[in-house]
A and B are shown apart, each in its own frame.
Chain A
Amino acid sequence: MNKALLILKREYLTRVRKKSFIIMTLLVPFLFGAFTILPAWLAMQDDHEERTIAVYDGTGIFLGRLENTEYTKFHFVPKEEYLKIREDLKQSPFYALLFIPPNILSSNRAQIFSDKQVTIDIKSLVDDKLEQILENDKKQNVIAESGIPDLEEKLAATRTNIQLETIKIGEQGESVKSSTEIAMAVGYACGFIIYMFVFIYGTMVMRGVMEEKTSRIVEVIISSVKPMQLMFGKIVGIGLVGLTQLFFWLIIGGAIITGVQTFAGGDPAQAMEQTQNLMNTQGVASAPAIQAQQQNMALEIIDMIGNLNLTLILSSFIFYFLAGFLMYSSLMGAIGSAVDHDEEAQQLMLPVTLPLIFSIIILFPVVKNPEGALAFWASMIPLTSPVIMMVRVPFGVPTWELLLSMATLIASIAGTIWIAGKIYRTGILMYGKKVNLKEIVKWLRYRN
């Protein structure tokens, strides 16, 4: 056992000290952050360029009602000037020229001229403002016609917004507020992480075995330790490398998220303010009400994450993470032992990785329907269950299904390790032989 520990230590340290490992471990969270947070953050950045738009109002109803915003000003011009500007827009001091035709009320059309394409913000700003003014006028007309002065308030009061709460009834009859969206996100993330780690680190086990075989050091090693000790030390050592990476990614990722939140702290508040302003102008609800509602929502999300049964999810995750890695890496190790070259390895790897790839293909259908027949069977069959069952757990899985899946997986791991061990012991000392599945089946009958 002591020797297996020595092997484990070497496998772990040589990989953790590698430059590529350190770089990947540090860089990936940043890249991930950069690719997800950065575009969102940039999109939130306001456009601070000052622009003046010349307006020719053919109707006369907009004068004085197109309010300037902080960075965008409106300047009304008479017809002659409008025609002059239109002729030579480039030389004029205006960013764009808005033409409101006299028949806007019936045509619902206006035009904005510019030498460059106008930005999306300007377009929607102008669009919104025109709509608001016209809608308001129409409303006033309707109110005047109906003779009900508080018609607007009355209509506003008819607005309804239903929040459909999803509540799960537990086995003891207790009801728990749940969120389908959060369960989907957690399930998807868990399944994907397991898939990724099993794939990357399983392949690493295979490469490690191949390295020892092709460099011929394996014969020296197994004259000091049992082949199974070598394989055990390697698999566990590399598994720990994977856990180390995951651990650092979580820590660094967490730090980045917190950092971004504090750094861009004003942004969410600002966004909130904007929605408030917008809603106020439409006269839907008062600011404190919205604020309360938003706070409620945040609390509810936290509440619902809390309701997810984190202990179960976390312990299942660790179980399926380790079990999936153990099963696939022992198979990959067996493949590594059986081959002499990379090309052969690729060929033999395909049947092993196929179920894993299948799991990731059916990930989305399973997330959408976690109780379906596909989800059920894929979470029972040991080669797909590490990924698929983990997708289902956040939705709540009957205890018997979970236990059956785990038991099947444990039994299959025992069988897999036995088979892999047999192949491994024969394979590592077998050189120059083109190995196919038939040959490998023959090895299973060897006594060592």
Chain B
Amino acid sequence: MELFNATEVVKDYAGHRALDHVSISVEEQSVFGLLGPNGAGKTTLIRIINQITAPDSGEIFFMGRKVKSTDIQYIGYLPEERGLYKKMKVGEQALYLAQLKGMSKNDALKNLKKWFEKFEIQPWWNKKVEELSKGMAQKVQFITTVIHEPKLLIFDEPFSGFDPINAKLLKNEILNLKEQGATIIFSTHNMASVEEICDHIALIHKSKKILDGNIYDIKENYKLGIYEIETPELHAVNSHFAGNGFEVMEEEIRGNRQRVKFRKKDGESNRDVLQKLTAQIEISAFREVIPSMNDVFIQVVEHANLTK
């Protein structure tokens, strides 16, 4: 079931179209990656979802019906540029932000206690935000984002500013929230994390959506028919590939292994390829090269730039 749906959204600023007929559809209990180069229009779309700004045309649906202004209490938003009141105490501030999302004071306190324990930051409750380090403040802000148990969570570059250990902690928490039923919209430039946690992505470029789909389907679609073998033989093996009609893309010796990337002939099955090669060289690994999201991103955006 779809939790969130935007159809044909257009948003103009004076002399500049920020979003041009963009439609996205976010499945319930999934992680939706919102990708795109800087200035593509991601932030505008996120602000429309948050009802910070309204679209000029197009429709927004939430939980299967037209969006209402009260829906913002079901949304949690962690903006890319983090910020808290510096002079305010951590606990007081978290409580305030939770209440602004419509929580009662008691519920808010109960949930805050749980999260502060989970992140082991209870001693910070009475500290002022300006006394915290950047990473500490980020943790507090993450808690204030999820405290009201939102159905839809929007994370804009959630891992920036975290060290690898805390980034892992955060990633696990995000996946946990998904397990518990939350739907997540995740905007980032970090393609490795997209592959790790996203189910579905949409790529926005120059105000238009240029790619949309399940992450596995997309990678499948952007396969280039390239294969890779690993062999313990460290001498030149090019001739064996060329002789079989394979086009060598790249070869590399690392340690006691040699890797060769190549393109097979159209219509040839993997079994045929392996039979031909094993007859000539020792093979310790064979696999199809699946493009990384990074490759897909670069390929799609560069292609879009060329056609313009």
**Nearest chain A CB to B73 CB, angstrom units:** 8
Q: Does A125 contact B (CB under 8 A)?
A: no
Q: Is the CB of A220 within 8 A of B86?
A: no
CB of B74 to closest CB in A, whole Å: 11
**A223 in contact with B51 (CB, 8 Å):** yes
Q: Across the interface, which residues of B come within 8 angstroms of A212, CB to CB?
A: 85
Q: Specify the chain B residue showing the minimal Cβ separation from A18.
A: B87
**Interface stretch (choices A83-91, A191-199, A440-448):** A440-448
How long is the Cα–Cα vector from A7 to B96 in the complex, in angstroms? 9
Which of these, A211, A215, A220, A222, contacts B97 with CB under 8 Å?
A: A220
Contact mask for chain B residues 130-157; partner A; CB cutoff 8 A; 1 contact, 0 none:
0000000000010011000000000000
**B85-A217 in contact (CB<8A):** yes
How long is the Cα–Cα vector from A216 to B102 in the complex, in angstroms? 21
Closest residue of chain A to B69 (Cβ to Cβ) is A226
Contact check: which of B14, B77, B79, B145 meets A216 at CB < 8 Å?
A: B79
Pick the residue among A215, A216, A219, A446 that contacts B52 (CB under 8 A).
A219
Identify the closest chain A residue to B54 (Cβ): A448
Inter-chain contact A14/B88, CB cutoff 8 Å: yes
Closest to B51 in A: A223
Q: Does A223 lie within 8 Å of B75, measured CB to CB?
A: yes
Interface string of B10-30 (1 = CB under 8 A from A): 000110000000000000000
Residue of B nearest to A9 (CB): B96
B69: A residues at CB distance < 8 A:
226
Q: Are A429 and B100 in contact (CB under 8 A)?
A: no
User: Chain B residues with Cβ under 8 A from A223's Cβ?
Assistant: 50-52, 72, 75, 77, 79
B residues 64-111 touching A (CB-CB < 8 Å): 69, 72-73, 75, 77, 79, 81-88, 96-97, 99-102
Assess whether A224 is interfacial by the CB under 8 Å rule: yes
Of A7, A212, A222, A226, chain B has the most CB atoms within 10 Å of the CB of A222
Give the chain A neighbours of B72 by CB distance below 8 A: 223-224
Known: A220-B79, A223-B77. A215 touches B100 (CB 8 A): no
Q: How many A-B residue pairs have CB under 8 A?
A: 65
The answer to the question of B47 belonging to the interface, with a C-beta cut-off of 8 Å to chain A, is yes
Query: Do residues A219 and B14 form an inter-chain contact, with CB atoms below 8 A?
Result: no
CB nearest to A225 among chain B residues: B100
A220/B13 contact (C-beta < 8 A), A3-B100, A6-B100, A429-B47 known: no
A83 to B69, CA, bound (A): 102
**Does B53 count as interface, using CB distance less than 8 angstroms?**
yes
| Residue B56, interface by CB 8 Å | yes
Interface membership of chain B positions 230-272, coded 1 if the CB is closer than 8 angstroms to chain A and 0 otherwise: 0000000000000000000000000000000000000000000
A215-B86, A216-B79, A223-B77 known; A6+B14 contact, CB < 8 A: no
The interface residues of chain A lying within 8 Å CB-to-CB of B77 are 219-220, 223
Query: Does A221 make an interface contact (CB < 8 A)?
Result: yes
Tell whether, in the assembled complex, residue A219 and residue B54 are in contact, meaning their CB atoms are under 8 Å apart.
Answer: no
Give the distance to chain A from B268, nearest Cβ to Cβ, in Å: 54
Asked whether, in the complex, the Cβ of B97 is within 8 Å of the Cβ of A446, the reply is no
Residue A10, interface by CB 8 Å: yes
Q: Which residues of chain A are near B13, meaning CB under 8 Å?
A: 446
Of A223, A225, A442, chain B has the most CB atoms within 10 Å of the CB of A223
Interface string of A207-251 (1 = CB under 8 A from B): 000011001111111111110000000000000000000000000
Q: Which residues of chain B come closer than 8 Å to A7, judged between CB atoms?
A: 100
Closest partner residue, chain A, to B76 (CB atom): A223
CA gap between A224 and B78 in the complex, in Å: 12
Residues of B within 8 A of A442 (CB): 14
Q: CB distance B54 to A216 under 8 Å?
A: no
Smallest CB-CB separation from A442: which chain B residue? B14
- B135 to nearest A CB, angstroms? 16
**A226–B77 Cα gap in the complex (Å)?**
15
Chain A residues with CB under 8 A of B47 = 429
In whole angstroms, how far apart are the Cα atoms of A218 and B51 in the complex?
14
- Binary B-proximity of A416-448 (CB < 8 A = 1, otherwise 0): 000000000000010100000000001001111
Whether B97 lies near A224 (C-beta < 8 A) is yes
A6 to chain B, nearest CB (A): 6
CA distance A216 to B43 in the complex (A): 14
Which residue on chain A has the smallest CB distance to residue B97? A220
| Closest CB in chain A relative to B100 CB, distance in Å | 4
Residue numbers in A under 8 Å from B85 (CB-CB): 14, 211-212, 215, 217
Kindly report which residue of chain B lies nearest to residue A443, judged by CB atoms. B14
In the complex, besides A3-B100, A212-B85, 4 extra interface pairs with C-beta distance below 8 angstroms are A216-B79, A219-B52, A223-B51, A429-B52
List residues of A whose CB falls within 8 A of some B CB: 3, 6-7, 10, 14, 211-212, 215-226, 429, 431, 442, 445-448
Please name 26 pairs of A and B residues whose Cβ atoms are closer than 8 Å in the assembled complex, sorted by A. Answer: A3-B102, A6-B99, A6-B100, A14-B85, A14-B87, A211-B85, A215-B84, A216-B82, A216-B83, A217-B83, A219-B83, A220-B77, A220-B79, A220-B83, A220-B97, A220-B141, A220-B144, A221-B97, A221-B100, A223-B75, A223-B79, A224-B72, A224-B73, A224-B100, A445-B14, A447-B56
